[in-house]
């Protein structure tokens, strides 16, 4: 089946002329029609636009064009703006919003010839770990539809797992591409902060937000990252560093690579099957010639409280723009302030309100030093942990999540329990460094487990090289869910 | 720190968020739990530690002061709930006496 190809295999087949972009796109659209009633990975399917883009891709190829993603069908998380295509960030407050411009990361995919299949489900404003906070209903995990796909980029992860797209974009603020990739048995990479433009990404926490990529192999991630990475004059925090050839980094050779295993990532609360499976994956890296050694990241336990002060603080400021004036819902009350309050009270869901409240409090007079400033200082300690670790090792290997996918509704009434599912991905976000998740096995219920590979800032090539080397000798990433 | 109903009302006012009674009650309990969890940060001595506002070694990012095209007015207004005469129309800000409406 055409939908079983990896992105890299599809690129080769399109180049060889054995398949067409139209056939590949139609195969995905048919599978979306068949499976969406069960999964709800997409909020919008842009069928007509996709077919037009596929026809255009076939025409361009016939004329000798060989753009890197020409004719490749992809899914885009609905927090990335797409001109003229509904973009909601999973929020009712943006129902019907038609962006007047396209996010740089998406535009770069389209310029490289990609075919957008649609916009994927997300926790509202990317705040959540399960997609249950979406204003449009949860996405279901393709491995067990009673379970969540993770979040916040759960729609993108589920779409790639279920073969409803060859790859996808997500965003990661505290683990929002790595955690759902782990839950859905696919690969994802959160680049270094500053590697990919945030222009056109609906802002959640601006010092943490970064666009990430999903695929079914490390090679797929390399292909997508190579297109979207790089400086953008429209995002002052996108770095001017040159973009390396990520595909060329996939040599299969990790002999002598120093891999640290942080003891703080294997503490109480990590499910036994997760620990066993991830340790076996690390043994595999050692068998490939990596030098594995224990390390310590002593401030790991503080990542969660830091994150849940800093991210909501930044969110409370960013979400002030949703006031019913320029776009989105307005619940008119006859006077401006009551209109603001009614609009925001009606348009935002519970988790978004909770975080706005928390952030407003942490930034308010009398509490700023004790909460926000304190969190920023401890954030420095987290960064210093990694600086010390990367003086001794090239990469860090650990579980992506403490446990496999949980059941829909299981943690819905306990925000703190929900936040704990992010506990192993938050540190890399706070430090702005690279984090990837690749499938490395299954638990006793057949749910996927992810190996997290963390690397220093802007060392995406080494992270991808290790992930690819692992995938050359294992087949976990090729398993498909029973749909 | 316990987050009582009065604190919830105060913060909701600052954040311009209308909350139902049920939400206020739930948030008071949940925010108390989350802040109690965050208390563990206070155990760390951070007197000499500089804060991290951004992980990047950037200060100001400047570009030449040249006028570039921006979003056309019609497109900027296209998503507005209400507009008139090329502007966003909003409810009254001041009442007829000049006080806040």
* Domains in chain B, CATH or no CATH each: 1-44 (1.10.20.60)
Residue B30: predicted pLDDT? 92
CA–CA separation, A82 vs A97, rounded Å? Answer: 10
Report in angstroms the alpha-carbon separations of A26 from A10, A15, A459: 14, 18, 37
- Across A267-371, the runs of DSSP E, i.e. the strands, are 291-295
Q: Which helix (H) or strand (E) covers residue A260, if one does? A: strand A258-262
What pLDDT, in 10s, does the model give residues A59-96? 999 999 999 999 999 999 999 999 999 999 999 999 99
> For residues A92 and A101, is the Cβ–Cβ distance under 8 A?
no
End-to-end, the C-alpha distance of chain A in Å comes to 14
Identify whether A448 is part of a domain: yes
Q: Are A318 and A205 in contact (CB under 8 A)?
A: yes
On whether residue A416 sits in a domain, the answer given is yes
Q: Which of A8, A77, A91, A238 is catalytic?
A: A77
pLDDT, one tens digit per residue, over A452-466 is: 999 999 999 999 999
List Cβ neighbours of A199 (8 Å cut-off, separation of 6 or more): A103, A104, A232, A234, A235, A238
A356 touches chain B (CB under 8 A): yes
- Residues of B (57-86) whose Cβ lies below 8 Å from A: 58, 61, 63, 71, 75-76, 78-82
In a domain, A306, yes or no: no
| First-to-final CA distance of chain B | 35
Say whether B17 and A364 touch across the interface (CB within 8 A). Answer: no
Tracing tokens 């996709």 back to the chain, one arrives at A50
The alpha-carbon gap from B19 to the nearest alpha carbon of chain A, in Å, equals 6
Q: Mutating which of B11, B13, B92 best tests the A interface, going by the most A Cβ atoms within 10 A?
A: B11
Contact between B24 and B5 under an 8 Å Cβ cutoff? The reply is yes
State which H helix or E strand residue A360 sits in: helix A350-363
- The ipTM, to two decimals, is 0.94
The CA–CA distances, whole Å, from A375 to A175, A214, A366 equal 18, 30, 15
Mutate to test the interface with B, among A361, A380, A434, A435 (most CBs of B within 10 A): A361
Phi, psi of A449 (to 5 degrees): -125, 140
Q: Beta A258-262 vs A291-295: how paired, if at all? A: parallel
Query: Burial, A248: exposed, middle or buried (Cβ in 10 Å; 0-12, 13-18, 19+)?
Result: exposed
| Residue entry with tokens 């340790």 | A279
Cβ–Cβ gap B53/A207 under 8 Å: yes
Which residues in chain A are closer than 8 Å to B90, comparing Cβ atoms? 325, 336, 339
Q: Which parts of chain B have pLDDT scores under 50?
A: none
Nearest to A380 among B37, B52, B58 (CB): B52
**H/E/C letters for each residue in A428-470?**
HHHHCCEEEEEEEEECCCCCEEEEEEEECCCCHHHHHHHHHHH
Q: For chain A, how many structural domains are there in total?
A: 1
What are the distances in angstroms from CA A22 to CA A47, A52, A353, B6? Answer: 12, 9, 43, 60
Ranges of residues in chain A whose predicted pLDDT is under 50: none
Q: How far is CA A144 from CA A4, A167, A446, in A?
A: 19, 21, 9
Q: Read off the tokens for B82.
A: 């209400």
Q: Can you say whether residue A21 is alpha, beta or left, with left for phi > 0 and alpha for psi between -120 and 50 degrees?
A: alpha
Q: Are strands A167-172 and A210-215 parallel, antiparallel or unpaired?
A: antiparallel
Answer yes or no: is A12 within a domain.
Answer: yes
Q: Please provide the DSSP assignment of B8-36 as one string.
A: HHHHHHHTT----HHHHHHHHHHHHHHHH
In a domain, A78, yes or no: yes
Asked whether residue A46 is assigned to any structural domain, the reply reads yes
Q: What angle do CA A449, A455, A460 make, to 5 degrees?
A: 95
Asked whether the whole model's pTM tops 0.90, one would answer yes
Parent domain of A48 = 2-259+391-478
Q: Is residue A136 part of a domain?
A: yes
In a domain, A359, yes or no: no
- Whichever domain contains A31, its CATH number is 3.90.1300.10
The beta-carbon neighbor of A415 closest among B16, B30, B38 is B30
Residue B30 C-beta-side C-alpha neighbours within 13 Å: 22
Q: Which residues pair with A335 in a beta bridge?
A: B92
β-pair partners for A261: A294
Q: Is A134 a catalytic residue?
A: no
């Amino acid at each position: 089946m055409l939908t079983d190809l990896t992105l890299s295999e599809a690129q080769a087949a399109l180049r060889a002329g054995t398949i067409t972009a139209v056939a590949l796109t139609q195969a995905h659209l048919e599978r979306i029609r068949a499976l969406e009633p069960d999964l709800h990975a997409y909020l919008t399917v842009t069928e007509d636009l996709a077919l037009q883009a596929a026809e255009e891709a076939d025409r361009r190829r016939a004329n000798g064009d060989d753009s890197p993603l020409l004719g490749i069908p992809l899914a885009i998380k609905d927090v990335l703006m797409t001109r003229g295509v509904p973009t909601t960030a999973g929020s009712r407050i943006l129902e019907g919003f038609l962006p007047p411009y396209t996010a740089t990361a998406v535009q770069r995919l389209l310029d490289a010839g990609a075919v957008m299949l649609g916009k994927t489900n997300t926790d509202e404003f990317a705040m959540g770990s399960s997609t249950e906070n979406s204003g449009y209903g949860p996405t279901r995990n393709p491995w067990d539809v009673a379970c969540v796909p993770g979040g916040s980029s759960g729609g993108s992860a589920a779409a790639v797992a279920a073969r409803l797209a060859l790859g996808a974009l997500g965003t990661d603020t505290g683990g929002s591409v790595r955690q759902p990739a782990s839950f859905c048995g696919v690969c994802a990479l959160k680049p270094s902060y500053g590697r990919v433009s945030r222009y056109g990404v609906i802002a959640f926490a601006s010092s943490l937000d970064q666009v990430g990529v999903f695929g079914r192999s490390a090679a797929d991630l390399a292909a997508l990252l190579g297109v979207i990475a790089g400086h953008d004059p429209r995002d002052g925090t996108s770095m001017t560093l040159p973009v390396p050839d990520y595909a060329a980094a996939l040599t299969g050779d990790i002999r002598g690579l120093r891999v640290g295993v942080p003891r703080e990532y294997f503490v109480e609360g990590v499910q036994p099957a997760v620990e066993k499976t991830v340790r076996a994956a690390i043994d595999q890296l050692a068998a490939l010639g990596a030098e594995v050694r224990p390390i310590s990241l002593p401030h790991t336990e503080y990542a969660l409280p830091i994150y849940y002060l800093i991210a909501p603080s930044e969110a409370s400021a960013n979400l002030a723009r949703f006031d019913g004036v320029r776009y989105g819902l307005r619940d008119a009350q006859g006077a401006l302030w009551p209109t603001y309050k009614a609009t925001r009270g009606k348009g935002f869901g519970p988790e978004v309100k909770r975080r706005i409240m928390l952030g407003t409090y942490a930034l308010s007079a009398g509490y700023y030093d004790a909460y926000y400033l304190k969190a920023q200082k401890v954030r420095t300690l987290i960064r210093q942990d990694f600086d010390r670790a990367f003086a001794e090792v090239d990469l860090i290997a650990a579980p992506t999540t403490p446990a496999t996918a949980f059941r829909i509704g299981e943690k819905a009434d306990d925000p703190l329990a929900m936040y704990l599912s992010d506990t192993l991905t938050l540190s890399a976000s706070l430090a702005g460094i690279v984090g990837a998740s690749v499938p490395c096995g299954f638990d006793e219920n057949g749910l996927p487990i992810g190996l997290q590979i963390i690397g220093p800032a802007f060392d995406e090539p080494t992270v991808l090289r290790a992930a690819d080397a692992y995938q050359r000798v294992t087949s976990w990433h090729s398993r498909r869910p029973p749909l | 720190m316990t987050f009582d109903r009065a604190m919830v009302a105060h913060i909701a006012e600052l954040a311009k968020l209308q909350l139902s009674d049920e939400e206020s009650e739930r948030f008071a309990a949940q925010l108390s739990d989350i802040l109690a969890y965050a208390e563990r940060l206070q155990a760390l001595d951070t007197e000499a530690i500089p804060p991290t506002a951004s992980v990047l070694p950037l200060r100001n990012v400047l570009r030449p002061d040249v006028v570039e095209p921006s979003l056309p007015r019609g497109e900027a207004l296209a998503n507005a709930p209400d507009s008139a005469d090329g502007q966003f129309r909003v409810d009254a800000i001041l009442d007829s006496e000049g006080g806040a409406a």
